[in-house]
Amino acid sequence: MTVEGYAALFGAADLEGDVVHAGAFRDSLRRRTSPLPMLVQHDARLRAGVWREAEEDARGLYLKGDIDARLPGAALAKRMIAQGHDGLSIGFIARLSQPRLQGRDLFEIELLETSLVAVPMQPLARLSRAGGARLSM
């Protein structure tokens, strides 16, 4: 099953107050030599697939990937999507940030993985398509 959506939106505060800025993923994506892991709920034991496309555009971090039925998290990922859970969440290390009144401004991020989640920290980080079907955004 192919899925796609935005895992981060530039300039939009998440529930902790963190704001990702344009260009934050650029160096991390350029250094990456293997596809970005797709996990379920940030659990490394629940790998569901890989994100074969990861790029920054004017809106944020856009991802497109495939759920691989042979992997341990695939069935759960498909069930979550079927139940209407469309959240995406990034697993990362902040390389360059600045404190805000609440949260941080994130200027450089080392992207480790992106997960399908029931409740994303960034409420706007959602799948837009799953298995060819457009999801509501």
User: Model confidence over 51-90: pLDDT tens digits?
Assistant: 999 999 999 999 999 999 999 999 999 999 999 999 999 9
Q: Regarding the domain delimited by 2-121, which CATH topology (the fold level of the hierarchy) does it fall under?
A: Serine Protease, Human Cytomegalovirus Protease; Chain A (3.20.16)
pLDDT at 24: 98
Write out pLDDT tens, residues 87-100: 999 999 999 999 99
Q: How confident is the model at residue 3 (pLDDT cuts 50, 70, 90)?
A: very high
- Nearest to residue 23, comparing CAs of 42, 6, 8? 8
* Closest to 11 (Cα-Cα) out of 22, 25, 3: 22
What is the spatial distance between Cα 38 and Cα 78, in angstroms, rounded to a whole number? 12
Asked if residue 122 has pLDDT above 80, the reply is: yes
Q: How far apart are CA 122 and CA 111, in angstroms?
A: 15
Residues in the chain: 137
